Amino acid sequence: MIREYVYRGFERFWHWTQAGLILFLGVTGFEIHGSIRFFGYEQAVRYHSIAALSFLTLIVFAIFWHFTTGEWRQYIPTWTNLRAQVEYYLLGIFHNAPHPTKKTVLSKLNPLQKLVYAGLKALIIPVMVVTGLLYMFYRYPQRNEVLSLNIGSLEVIAVLHTIGAFLLLSFLAAHLYLITTGRTPSSNLKAMITGYEEIPQDHEVAAAAHIASEPVPSK
């Protein structure tokens, strides 16, 4: 095992800020729906709008960071070892089987994670953003009318937004469980706090490093 700097500073900031905003949006959103009572309806609407705009701002910075650093390539789905990864999570992990894929700085996500994150970033979050903006600005009371859309009711938008919210919370619950499936139950969590993670060293690289470190015999 070698200790590598896997998660950069902005990546960790973006990860934790996004998680906090999604949780806060969930709490205030469900209060707006009347499912829970915490802040009060008017305050929940106000806080939800502020958190939504903060989330949009974070998304803009995250998109810029991903494309300028090339990190967007981490999320390109692949079918290689996908079945093995699913079988590992369903069965192998409970029998102490070896992990079917190796994490590296250039490949931080396994095939199943790539597929899930791609769906999250390309489908669920865009749906939440679009429906949320329509909810906030389409025929908003006495201002910001977008009459050209000619949507008769916000009911469909509200349903899509709520479905997206449940999908986000389902992802979050699965994510919290998968955090504990690292080398130790807390290793993944520590890595996302410090940025450093212990990952398996490539045998060929290790052998080359060992040979290079050997003293040259004197003639």
Task: Assess if residue 215 is contained within a domain.
Answer: no
Whichever domain contains 142, its CATH number is 1.20.950.20
Number of domains in the chain: 1
Q: At what angle do helices 9-32 and 187-194 cross, to 10 degrees?
A: 110
Task: Assess if residue 211 is contained within a domain.
Answer: no
Task: Assess if residue 18 is contained within a domain.
Answer: yes
Task: Assess if residue 19 is contained within a domain.
Answer: yes
- Per the structure, the complete domain to which residue 11 belongs is given by 2-203
Task: Assess if residue 120 is contained within a domain.
Answer: yes
Cα dihedral 61, 63, 69, 75 in deg (nearest 10): 140
Report the pLDDT value the prediction gives residue 207, as an integer from 0 to 100.
38
The answer to whether 129 and 59 have CB atoms below 8 angstroms apart is yes
- Distance separating alpha carbons of residues 61 and 58, to the nearest angstrom: 5
Task: Assess if residue 64 is contained within a domain.
Answer: yes
pLDDT tens sequence across 55-83: 999 999 999 999 999 999 989 988 888 89
Using 70 as the pLDDT threshold, list the residues of the chain that sit under it. Answer: 138-153, 202-219
Report the pLDDT value the prediction gives residue 213, as an integer from 0 to 100.
41
Which parts of the chain fold into alpha helices (H)? 9-32, 41-69, 82-90, 111-119, 125-137, 155-179, 187-194, 203-213
Task: Assess if residue 31 is contained within a domain.
Answer: yes
Task: Assess if residue 96 is contained within a domain.
Answer: yes
